[in-house]
């Protein structure tokens, strides 16, 4: 694998296969945030989340030529609005919805749209350490003259325009975040991939200028490659749409309609007094995540070699109760004298991602909490026996 350590990098992911047939000494791959945990839910939903597309359907490039984002399927736009209304996690009034091939493409579209076109040097792109490990390589891989990765937002001193990437809850450590540079010449991209009730209390409908979401982490459909941006400014929305037009001439309609059906199924679970046989997705996800975090904390206690972040209890407007976060990743720290935790865990046949990819110390690693049951069971079992 090259230096680009995107979540979807397939080559390493294969060693888990389907997650079935793991033996007690199998290699466990928790390097990626592959959301296979949710397969069990969608298997239960069966026909309720199925769509059929006939051979003659969805053939045109165009979805809605009257819309600024002409390749956005109206059905998907409707379901996105409905879902945000249900969850109450983002302001959707007076926003343009831009659909992308995952939020990864929208992230690049946002950099393109927010960069001054005629500046004498590339605009600096920063994010607070520990930041999502894909930001630096994705920002720099084409060596754009428009923007350039400039590292940790906490140490950014340059008196010049900049773009700050704010991931909340954060990947890798799960904490809620706000912008840290806060200068007038800054533009912000809020990556809210994990701002859903199974991961964190929903404390308000966030209202930022440019917000990114994705079905990958919301419902677990990473393979469908659908993300969306909620954008306040019309000119920014036009430029993002142009980027996607030049890059991929839009986004698969098949995928958009599949995503629409999935979001619709999620919403149905909360409609009509829940008598329609559709399970409540966020309750299912939250229950699983809560249970997994309890088991992980217990394993870490037993091992005595590691520590985990502690999260505050907050009132969740969606669940109507006080609860704490159960993030999609465990940001594990070695409290012993091991300098390179990734290498150490690898020697115990557990693949994780080193803190150094997130701009942090190699005594930290990030481990996925959203893999299949079999993988997670083996992970906690093995962790508890490492001293
Ligand atoms: C913070 C964050 N943003 C974006 C992405 C990419 O999402 P997508 O699959 O929609 O491209 C990920 C994937 O792990 C992520 O963790």
Q: Show pLDDT as tens, one digit a residue, over the chain (387 residues).
A: 333 334 433 333 333 445 567 888 899 999 999 999 999 999 999 999 999 999 999 999 999 999 999 999 999 999 999 999 999 999 999 999 999 999 999 999 999 999 999 999 999 999 999 999 999 999 999 999 999 999 999 999 999 999 999 999 999 999 999 999 988 899 999 999 999 999 999 999 999 999 999 999 999 999 999 999 999 999 999 999 999 999 999 999 999 999 999 999 999 999 876 666 789 999 999 999 999 999 999 999 998 899 999 999 999 999 999 999 999 999 999 998 899 999 999 999 999 999 999 999 999 999 999 999 999 999 999 999 888
The CA 7 to ligand 1 mean position distance, Å, reads: 7
Instruction: Note whether 326 and 356 are same-domain residues.
Output: yes
- List Cα–Cα distances, 327 to 168, 241, 291, 361, in angstroms: 11, 31, 12, 20
SS3 13: helix
What the block records as the tokens of 201 is 């209390």
**Based on the number of CB atoms within 10 Å of its own CB, is 176 exposed (0-12), middle (13-18) or buried (19 or more)?**
middle
Q: What is the 215 CA–ligand 1 centroid distance (Å)?
A: 9
19: domain CATH number? 3.90.1150.10
Residue 34: inside a domain, yes or no? Answer: yes
Does one domain contain both 98 and 197? yes
| 164 within domain boundaries | yes
The CA distance from 58 to 257, in Å, is 10
C-beta separation of 205 from 165 below 8 A: no
Cβ of residue 216 lying under 6 Å from some atom of ligand 1: yes
CA gap 364, 308 in Å, rounded: 10
Q: Strand, helix or coil at 312?
A: coil
Closest CA to ligand 1's atom 13? 7
Q: Which atom of ligand 1 is nearest to the CA of 7?
A: 14
- 255 with 285, same domain: the answer is no
Whether 273 is covered by a domain: the verdict is no
Question: Which of 263, 261, 339, 326 is closest to 295 using CA atoms?
Answer: 326
CA of 213 to the centre of ligand 1 (A): 8
Both 216 and 108 in one domain: the answer is: yes
- 106 in the same domain as 20: no
3-state class of 57 per DSSP? Answer: coil
CATH number at residue 251: 3.40.640.10
Residue 191 CB less than 6 A away from ligand 1: yes
Domain with 340, as residue range(s), is 4-45+278-384
Among candidate residues 209, 244, 268, the one where a domain is terminated: 268
Claim to verify: residue 85 and residue 232 sit in the same structural domain: yes
Read off φ and ψ for residue 315, nearest 5 degrees: -80, 125
Domain count, the chain: 2
**323 and 371 together in one domain:** yes
Q: Which two structure tokens, joined as six digits, stand for 189? A: 């991209």
Alpha-carbon distances, residue 92 vs 13, 80, 209, 318 (angstroms): 35, 9, 11, 16
227 inside domain: yes
- Tell me: do 351 and 223 sit in the same domain: no
Q: How far is the CA of 99 from the centre of ligand 1 (A)?
A: 14
pTM, 2 dp: 0.94
The answer to the question of residue 62 being in a domain is no
Indicate if 20 and 100 belong to the same structural domain.
no
CA distance 365 to 215: 25
- Do 245 and 314 reside in the same domain of the chain? no
Residue 57 belongs to some domain of the structure: no
**16 and 83 housed in the same domain:** no
Same domain, 194 and 302: no
- Mark which of 226, 244, 268 sits at the end of a domain: 268
Residue 309 in domain: yes
Tell me if 98 is assigned to some domain. Answer: yes
Burial class (CB in 10 A: 0-12, 13-18, 19+), 182: exposed
Maximum distance among all alpha carbons in the chain?
63
Select from 214, 244, 268 the last residue of a domain: 268
In terms of Cα–Cα distance, which of 153, 152, 124 is closest to 139? 124
């Amino acid at each position: 694998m090259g230096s680009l350590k995107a979540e979807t990098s397939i080559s390493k992911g294969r060693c888990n296969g389907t997650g079935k047939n793991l033996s007690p000494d199998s290699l466990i791959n928790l390097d990626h945030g592959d959301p296979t945990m949710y397969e069990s839910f969608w298997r239960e939903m069966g026909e309720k989340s199925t769509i059929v597309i006939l051979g003659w359907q969805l053939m045109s490039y165009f979805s809605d030529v009257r819309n600024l984002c002409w390749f956005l399927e109206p059905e998907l736009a409707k379901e996105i609005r409905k879902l945000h209304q249900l969850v109450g996690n983002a302001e959707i009034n007076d926003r343009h919805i831009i659909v992308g091939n995952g939020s990864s493409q929208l992230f690049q579209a946002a950099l393109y749209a927010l960069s001054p076109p005629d500046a004498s040097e590339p605009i600096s792109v920063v994010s607070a350490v520990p930041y999502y490990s894909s930001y630096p390589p994705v920002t720099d891989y084409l060596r754009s003259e428009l923007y350039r990765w400039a590292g940790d937002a906490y140490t950014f001193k340059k008196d010049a325009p900049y773009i700050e990437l704010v991931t909340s809850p954060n990947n890798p450590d799960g904490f809620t975040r706000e912008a840290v540079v806060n200068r007038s010449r800054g533009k912000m991209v809020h990556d809210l991939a994990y701002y859903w009730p199974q991961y964190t209390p929903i404390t308000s409908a966030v209202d930022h200028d440019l917000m990114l979401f994705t079905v990958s982490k919301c419902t677990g459909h990473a393979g469908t490659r659908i993300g969306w941006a909620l954008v306040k400014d019309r000119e920014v929305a036009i430029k993002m749409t142009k980027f996607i037009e030049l890059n991929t001439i839009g986004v698969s309609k098949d995928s958009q309609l599949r995503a629409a059906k999935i979001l619709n199924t999620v919403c149905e679970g909360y409609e009509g007094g829940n008598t329609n046989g559709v399970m409540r997705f966020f309750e299912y996800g939250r229950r699983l995540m809560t249970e997994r975090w309890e088991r992980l904390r217990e394993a870490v206690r037993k091992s005595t070699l590691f520590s985990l972040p502690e999260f505050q209890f907050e009132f969740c407007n969606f669940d109507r109760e006080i609860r704490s976060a159960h993030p999609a990743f465990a940001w594990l720290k070695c409290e012993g004298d091991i300098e390179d935790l990734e290498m150490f865990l690898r020697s115990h046949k557990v693949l994780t991602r080193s803190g150094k990819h997130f701009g942090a110390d190699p005594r930290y690693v990030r481990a996925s909490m959203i893999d299949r049951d079999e993988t997670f069971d083996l992970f906690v079992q093995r962790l508890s026996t490492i001293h």
